[in-house]
Structure 1
Amino acid sequence: MSPPSHKQEILALLDAGEYGPALQHALTWLDSSPENTDALYVSGLACLFVEQFDKSIQYLEQASKKNPDNATCIANLGIACLRSGDTGSAISYLKKAIDKQPDYELARYNLGSAYIKNQQAELAIEHFRILTENHPDSAEYLCALADATRETGQWLQSIKLYKKTLAIDTDHSRAHTNMGPLMMHLGQLDDAVEHCLRAIELGPDQTLPRKNLGDCYVQMEQLDEAMDAYADAYQIDSNNAELDVAIGNVWLETADHAEASSWFHKAHLLDEDNIPALCGLAHIEREAGNLQLALDILQPLLKKDPENTEVLLNLSDTLWDDGDAEAALLHLNTVLKLQPQRTAIYAKTGHILSSAGDIKGALEQYRTALAQNPHCIPALNGLATTQRDKLENRYFNTLQELLNPKTRNQQLKPGVLAALHNALAFYFDGNRQFEAAASHMQQANHFQWQHKKTRGWKYDIQTHEDHVTKLIDTFTHDYFERIKTFGSTDNTPVFIVAMPRSGTTLTEQILARHENVLGIGERNFASQSLNQFAGVNNAINLDQLNDITQSAIERLSLNYLSRLKILSKQSNKTGITRVVDKMPDNYSLIGWILTLFPNAKIIHLKRDPADVALSCWMTQFGSIRWACHKEHISHRLQQYQRIMQHWRDVIPDRFIETSYEQLVKHQSDESARLIEYIGLDWDEDCLKFYESDRLIRTASITQVRQPIYKKSVCRWKAYQPYISDLFNVKKTS
């Protein structure tokens, strides 16, 4: 058989899908004619089809050297490099093939694919656009252009292109597969599910459409359905790292951290560079309160891939939990630059801006989200809770329509219902329609607990009462006498302690306007330092304090002060001599704080317990588990009063007390008393706290951004006729 016949026979076998026989014939020919260009070429091509990429590259490189003007050989060499993961060489060879033959469509298509893989989607768009212009009816080329456009963050434009693809070919599997996640990120979950299901019909043996379907169900809070979809995908491919991460995330949603960790570790074993798996492990550390460990995982990932949106979002959440609003917002802004159509991120940004004091910026973010998706629940909730009675009618009507079974087109899940009712509670409260507000508050808390309960939330009043008893039994007169010389004499730390919603933010703002004071918001430093010393299996063993040594206290206090120094340096504020932490729950840690810092200044801020109860009842906290049930709120207040009375009995001269009501009524006198207590000279700027441009973490920022807010005093009386059982806790001295 002549050489041309060899070549044609082998190419015919490849066209027929008989790759094994084709490779055997090609190698036999190559053995007999090792310098033959055609024998090298078909051997390389056959190796490419059977995925022997190194051999394919070897033979095709030799063939292209012998025939340097053969665009087909050079293009297939580029494709072999692309399949082997060498995208740089692939791009070089494919560009060379196109230079020699500009109308070579296969080379141009694969060059676009190589650019996408090399994270150069903008360059891919250029080549796919040429292909679509020459072949406007090609669904495959349109889908490729949509893929590249999606990678640049132009989600709305990519959706238009996918729709054009499906108009040409309604059964285009990849278009349906990729449309699912896009619609999900835009909040159009019903459409997302529809595309995922269609992709599964078209490709029942494909893993990705089933994983995408599971992702959609997670967003819809249908965790059982999500796990079913992931299980179906797992049957197809049990060694898929991305699928393992998705399964781990469901376990994370249900607060089963051990199970979640096992799946994230499995993914990491399959792919040690799998960033979502490492993000999952960081999330577990964050949920456990180990924020520094979470940052230790995430920050190296950001250095390695500074535009990875998953890393950026996890870093933002961790930094926000740590009270660093500015850094959290910085990472969210980066995400929005990369993916400007990601609706939920605008709402998340709005939430942080609102909580941190930039109300105008927050409203702008919420409205941007709603312009993209008028039914974006977090954005609607953010607008309503921020604007209250000033909420525009169109948004109020949308909230009403979403809750009306006759007008909505889907069954809403508890988390969504909680957000909608909470939004309306704030709207009606602002309009002084207290009965309607109370009704929506009741439903919001009911659904919030349902939503959180499926994610592992529980609260046991006896466990908390036992913990308070243990605190009382541990921090006695004898304890303080024993450790009185152990702690650091540094007087930098200042603490504002109280029940949540008692005015800690207002008090911090007054102090932080002083030229020598830095406010650092709500930090977990005190609890983290105690956990560092006495933590056992994510619980505090207070018995260990019986054996605490001076060296241990010195080490912990120095570490604590080093964190304050870092924050002081980052603030760019000069002359700082006092650093104020307003974490409310530190009221239970006053004994520990004075263990570390005997000279620390502690301000206990009281407020009418009925007003505290109402405010906590109205606020949907992200992590406070006792604020959904009235009896839990009442019990928490009782135990708070109990531990504070203990501190008054045991260390009466180690802290001072004021009240929200006193600050409101006698702002100037009380402010002066606080400044004097922390050892500083009076500064008139402390009376202008509302002019601060600092980012603050609080649930009541609209009150802090105006002169003393008096409407919150005795606010509970308006609700007495409707939720009287919330106000059973009596005032104490």
Structure 2
Amino acid sequence: MLAVMQSAISHHQAGRLDAAESLYQQVLRAEPNHADAIHLFGVLLHQRGRHAEALDLIRRAADLNPGQAAYHVNLADVRRALGDFAGAEADCREALRFQPANADAAYNLGLVLEAVGRSDEALAQYESAMAARFGWTAPYLNAGNFLRSTGRLYEAAAYYREAVRVCGDAPMVRYQLGQLLLELGLHDEALIHATEAARLRPDRPEALSGLGDAFTAVGRHDEALAVYRQAVRLAPGLASTHSQMGRLLTGIGQRAEALVCFAEASRCDPVAAEPHVFAAATLYELGHVAEAADRYREAIRLGPDDARTHNSLGYVLQDAGDLIAAAAAYREAIRLDPAGSADARLNLGLLLTESGDPTGAIESFRASLQLDPYHPEALSALGMTLRDKIDPAEVAAAEVALARGRLTPERQATLEYGLAQVMDARGDYARAAALVADANGIFTGLARRTGQEYTPAEHHDYVDQIIRSYPAEHFARVRGWGLDTDVPVFVLGLPRSGTSLVEQILASHPRVFGAGELNDVRDLYRSLPNLTRKSAPGVECVADLTRDGVESLARRYIDRVRGLAPEAARVVDKMPDNYLMIGLIATLFPTARIIHTRRDVRDTGLSCWLTNFKHIRWAADQVAIGERVREYVRLMDHWRTVLPGRMLEVDYEQIVADLEANARRLLAWCGLEWEPACLAFHQTRRVVRTSSMVQVREPLYSRSVRRWERYREFIGPLLATIGEVIDRENDQ
């Protein structure tokens, strides 16, 4: 029987389980009490999922041949599969009693202890296994995976690194280490390990996918796409790789292609929520807010207990203006994961800020910090809200969070913006400028890496096209077209020029609804190619507009704003960038009120530079800001020439100097009777969703007038770029 037994073991080790089972049974028919055959037959049945039968066999083998550590190790493994953790622990300890340096027994005991939440004891057993069998990767990998799953990322990285040092060519350890280092933001080191993992195992699609993740993180997008595609060729049904490729395509602006990848990921794994989450995020970036919300809802249907998805749904609903549903989504995220709800509590705080509840917002930000004392966005939000009234301990926490160097670049920048507001309020302008310069540098670099860098020359050409498309002859041609309505009021100008203040003053009138920054005029522009059946950008389609087309666009806009506030006499659309769209606005609504807010361009430019405008690419660079200001001035000169008398122009500095006179002027321009509540605009409770949402809830102050003088030595590139504009203003 010795030869038969050896053959059975050989088949077993090679994975030929049917042949091995037949031979074990042959041995046992000849020798019913052959302990090794009983034991290994039990192991085979365990591998086949027949755990109860395996338990009986291995237990019988242990009774026949006491003192065999291997029997008890495998017995523990079977008990663990059956959920009998107490019995599994006892068997592991029995094996260690027989053989104290048994690596398998220590490792299995670690698995058991980990499963019952005794983490420190589990780690000690993994370390015993490491010592007992030098060069064995499993205990290192399991210790690292366990620590990573519990958020102890730096400890996990230490185990992975030690495994690489001790075990040498350990491709899956290098893969896991690479993934973890990406999570920690250590992209260059991650690439080293991901590259080695893919070199060692080019046949493993997850190793290739991990290399794609690392290439993505360091901005080597073409190489990332190549290895993702190689991974997909190896494993076409690997949904995660399709998802990661889609995320890369989203990041480099190829969002339509990304959505195809997410659809393929969903096809590969119809019950996976993750592709829907990624698709929702991409749709949101494309401005398809309603579709994004639907995708998040589908992800929640597939994975109802994922708090992060509820949080993301809340963010999208908040952007859509459904603050009640958004708050409910955030609170559901908090309910599902109270200990991990720092982000949801932050977002709820931001929602409360928008809603005019600063006290509730501050409480929510601080609740976030109770869960994560160094949460950069929560610390930043407190800095933005409280400025020099912030608790010194929170400022210290912000400084520590920056000094530790553990933040992703984007989160670091967000914290720097918030801390800069505190320093500005304290009068430490040098520190504020240094923080903002670093934050803006991060976002400028990110835009460059993702192919979204702002190009002033392109904007100059765009302004040229606007001016060509709207000569005086255009307005003569369309005279009498559009809708005669005084419902919409367009408040526009450069960002940070006082548009939010003007809207808040007007919205304090009982007959006015402040709609905030609507994208509707921009969307109308984007629809012009379809309307005119012309394959060209919207601005080049203006000459092809017809009276019926203009009226249909105007009615679409009016139906939209009427739906926001059916009873309001006036609806304020406060989208600053609508200064680029004045030609279309005047074409659609020949009698609508247009209010242009102006401010010293040095203060406007500085304020843009100091503000966390993630999606306004030009605001992160002083020269780009200056170029944008110059183009703005050039375009506004054109509008004054071709549309004389069509705009009311109000200066921020004049409002600060004489609020009542300018409030009366604004209301008269809008055809509204005087309302004293407009002087107490800061007491008006309404949703405000701009970077000025804190300031407009404060009484009028003058500290922002000539603010640029405090930063003179730090904004040289801006001042140099707008020198001609300043000289012109001084001459007027």
TM-score (norm 2): 0.72
Q: How does 1:66-85 map to 2 (within 5 A)?
A: none
- Counterpart of 1:593? 585
Q: Which amino acid aligns with 2:394?
A: Y
Post-superposition offset of 1:586 = 1.1
Post-superposition offset of 1:48 = 9.9
Choose the corresponding residue for 2:437, options 431, 439, 442: 442
Q: How does 1:50-61 map to 2 (within 5 A)?
A: none
Q: Which amino acid aligns with 2:376?
A: I
Q: Secondary structure at the match of 1:457?
A: coil
Relative to structure 1, the CA distance from residue 418 to residue 653 in structure 2 (aligned partners, 3 Å threshold; closer, same or farther) is same
Q: How does 1:3-14 map to 2 (within 5 A)?
A: none
The alignment status of 1:481 with 2:476, answered yes or no, reads: yes
Answer whether contact 2:424 2:432 (CA < 8 A) is retained.
yes
The alignment status of 1:371 with 2:390, answered yes or no, reads: no
Could you give the per-residue CA deviations for residues 311-347 of structure 1, whole angstroms, max 9, x where no partner exists? 4344344445556655544433332222223334434
Q: How does 1:33-182 map to 2 (within 5 A)?
A: 139-145=110-116, 162-170=119-127, 171=139, 176-182=144-150
Relative to structure 1, the CA distance from residue 166 to residue 712 in structure 2 (aligned partners, 3 Å threshold; closer, same or farther) is same
Post-superposition offset of 1:247 = 4.3
- Counterpart of 1:578? 570
Post-superposition offset of 1:460 = 0.7
Relative to structure 1, the CA distance from residue 215 to residue 46 in structure 2 (aligned partners, 3 Å threshold; closer, same or farther) is closer
- Counterpart of 2:185? 220
- Counterpart of 1:726? 718
Could you give the per-residue CA deviations for residues 569-604 of structure 1, whole angstroms, max 9, x where no partner exists? xxxxx7323222211111111122233333332211
Query: d(CA) in 2 for partners of 1:195 and 1:258?
Result: 40
Relative to structure 1, the CA distance from residue 412 to residue 697 in structure 2 (aligned partners, 3 Å threshold; closer, same or farther) is closer
Relative to structure 1, the CA distance from residue 173 to residue 192 in structure 2 (aligned partners, 3 Å threshold; closer, same or farther) is closer
Query: d(CA) in 1 for partners of 2:318 and 2:409?
Result: 25
Q: Secondary structure at the match of 1:627?
A: helix
- Counterpart of 1:546? 543
The alignment status of 1:277 with 2:242, answered yes or no, reads: no
Query: d(CA) in 1 for partners of 2:208 and 2:493?
Result: 52
Query: d(CA) in 1 for partners of 2:584 and 2:379?
Result: 41
Post-superposition offset of 1:634 = 0.9
Relative to structure 1, the CA distance from residue 442 to residue 706 in structure 2 (aligned partners, 3 Å threshold; closer, same or farther) is same
Q: Name whichever of 436-445 and 218-227 sits farther off.
A: 218-227
Answer whether contact 1:142 1:162 (CA < 8 A) is retained.
yes
Q: Which amino acid aligns with 1:591?
A: G
The alignment status of 1:432 with 2:430, answered yes or no, reads: no
- Counterpart of 2:621? 629
The alignment status of 1:615 with 2:610, answered yes or no, reads: no
Post-superposition offset of 1:458 = 0.2
Post-superposition offset of 1:623 = 0.3
- Counterpart of 1:694? 686
Post-superposition offset of 1:131 = 10
Q: Secondary structure at the match of 2:649?
A: strand
Post-superposition offset of 1:464 = 0.3
Query: d(CA) in 2 for partners of 1:414 and 1:443?
Result: 10
Q: Which amino acid aligns with 1:590?
A: I
TM-score (norm 1): 0.72
Could you give the per-residue CA deviations for residues 76-104 of structure 1, whole angstroms, max 9, x where no partner exists? 9xxxxxxxxxxxxxxxxxxxxxxxxxxxx
Query: d(CA) in 2 for partners of 1:612 and 1:180?
Result: 46
Q: Name whichever of 684-693 and 538-547 sits farther off.
A: 538-547
Post-superposition offset of 1:437 = 2.6
Post-superposition offset of 1:691 = 1.5
Answer whether contact 2:667 2:673 (CA < 8 A) is retained.
yes
Answer whether contact 1:668 1:687 (CA < 8 A) is retained.
yes
- Counterpart of 1:528? 523
Q: Secondary structure at the match of 2:597?
A: strand
Post-superposition offset of 1:255 = 4.1
Q: Secondary structure at the match of 1:720?
A: helix
The alignment status of 1:461 with 2:456, answered yes or no, reads: yes
Query: d(CA) in 2 for partners of 1:325 and 1:685?
Result: 25
Relative to structure 1, the CA distance from residue 638 to residue 15 in structure 2 (aligned partners, 3 Å threshold; closer, same or farther) is closer
Q: Secondary structure at the match of 1:502?
A: coil
Relative to structure 1, the CA distance from residue 543 to residue 489 in structure 2 (aligned partners, 3 Å threshold; closer, same or farther) is same
Relative to structure 1, the CA distance from residue 326 to residue 494 in structure 2 (aligned partners, 3 Å threshold; closer, same or farther) is farther
Q: Secondary structure at the match of 2:494?
A: coil
Choose the corresponding residue for 1:493, options 474, 488, 492: 488
Structure 1: gaps of 5 or more residues:
1-9, 28-44, 57-70, 77-104, 113-126, 147-160, 569-573
Q: How does 1:496-515 map to 2 (within 5 A)?
A: 496-515=491-510
Post-superposition offset of 1:510 = 1.7
Post-superposition offset of 1:713 = 1.3
Alpha carbon RMSD of aligned pairs, Å?
4.5
- Counterpart of 1:380? 379
Q: Choose between structure 1 and 2 for higher RCO, CA contacts under 8 A separated by at least 6 residues.
A: 1
Query: d(CA) in 2 for partners of 1:456 and 1:169?
Result: 46
Post-superposition offset of 1:684 = 2.7
- Counterpart of 1:79? none
Answer whether contact 1:179 1:195 (CA < 8 A) is retained.
no
- Counterpart of 1:642? 634
Query: d(CA) in 2 for partners of 1:211 and 1:429?
Result: 43
Query: d(CA) in 1 for partners of 2:90 and 2:479?
Result: 81
Post-superposition offset of 1:615 = 0.6
Query: d(CA) in 2 for partners of 1:437 and 1:19?
Result: 69
Query: d(CA) in 2 for partners of 1:47 and 1:559?
Result: 69
Q: Which amino acid aligns with 1:360?
A: T
Q: Secondary structure at the match of 1:217?
A: helix
Answer whether contact 2:157 2:180 (CA < 8 A) is retained.
no
- Counterpart of 2:651? 659
The alignment status of 1:668 with 2:660, answered yes or no, reads: yes
Query: d(CA) in 1 for partners of 2:111 and 2:429?
Result: 58
- Counterpart of 2:154? 190
Q: Secondary structure at the match of 2:689?
A: coil
Relative to structure 1, the CA distance from residue 634 to residue 374 in structure 2 (aligned partners, 3 Å threshold; closer, same or farther) is same
Query: d(CA) in 1 for partners of 2:562 and 2:112?
Result: 57
Q: Which amino acid aligns with 1:719?
A: Y
Q: Secondary structure at the match of 2:595?
A: strand
Could you give the per-residue CA deviations for residues 446-466 of structure 1, whole angstroms, max 9, x where no partner exists? 233224433433011110011
Q: Name whichever of 629-638 and 520-529 sits farther off.
A: 520-529
Post-superposition offset of 1:270 = 1.3
Query: d(CA) in 2 for partners of 1:22 and 1:583?
Result: 75
Q: Name whichever of 461-470 and 292-301 sits farther off.
A: 292-301
Q: Secondary structure at the match of 1:509?
A: helix
Relative to structure 1, the CA distance from residue 14 to residue 224 in structure 2 (aligned partners, 3 Å threshold; closer, same or farther) is closer
Relative to structure 1, the CA distance from residue 219 to residue 457 in structure 2 (aligned partners, 3 Å threshold; closer, same or farther) is farther
Relative to structure 1, the CA distance from residue 350 to residue 214 in structure 2 (aligned partners, 3 Å threshold; closer, same or farther) is farther
- Counterpart of 1:312? 310
Q: Secondary structure at the match of 2:542?
A: helix
Post-superposition offset of 1:473 = 0.9
- Counterpart of 2:329? 331
Query: d(CA) in 2 for partners of 1:562 and 1:134?
Result: 74
Answer whether contact 2:516 2:689 (CA < 8 A) is retained.
yes
Answer whether contact 1:211 1:243 (CA < 8 A) is retained.
no
Answer whether contact 2:178 2:189 (CA < 8 A) is retained.
no
Percent of aligned pairs with the same residue?
Answer: 30
Q: Name whichever of 442-451 and 311-320 sits farther off.
A: 311-320
Query: d(CA) in 1 for partners of 2:558 and 2:177?
Result: 47
Query: d(CA) in 1 for partners of 2:610 and 2:265?
Result: 41
Query: d(CA) in 1 for partners of 2:567 and 2:675?
Result: 14
Post-superposition offset of 1:647 = 1.4
Query: d(CA) in 2 for partners of 1:516 and 1:133?
Result: 77
Q: Which amino acid aligns with 1:679?
A: G
